Structure 1
Amino acid sequence: MKKFLFLALSLSASLSAYAQEVSVAPKATPYVYGMHLDIAKVINITEAADICGPVPVQMTYKDSHGDTHALEYSGIGRGCTN
């Protein structure tokens, strides 16, 4: 009986270690020249598309207050060759 109880407690403890908070990705704000950016830590930057020309790129970051934001800006695609 003690082995069964120990096994049940161990299983529930290991499953709770894998539980994570569900986070909703913030809606991307389009970048406007001159806007104030409070970027404390960059979380992710999407890769540019494989075309030659301007493409939208998104950056997800945390500000100095710990809030998560997403910013969309134009970048040059990876499809350009010389």
Structure 2
Amino acid sequence: MTAETPVTDLSFEQAMRELEQVVGQLERGDVPLEDSIKLYERGAALKKRCEEKLKEAEEKVAAITLDASGQPTGTTPVEGL
């Protein structure tokens, strides 16, 4: 994945991997100011994407219903998913 790939097209894992790279570059401090600003903006968008994907996963897990023996009986639709 590259900075040209729209953040909305990234999976959680891809966004997290790229976010780690962005943080690493910013922590090293060897990036020119203008590039640092672009990296920071990209990192903020990647962070938001990761948070959205985690929330979706949490909602899906929360929607799973269990029977008396603790086995999944199906899922309850979560609004918006």
What TM-score do you get using the length of structure 1 for normalisation?
A: 0.33
* Larger Rg computed on CA atoms: 1
What TM-score do you get using the length of structure 2 for normalisation?
A: 0.34
Question: Would you tell me which structure has more helix in proportion to its own residues?
Answer: 2
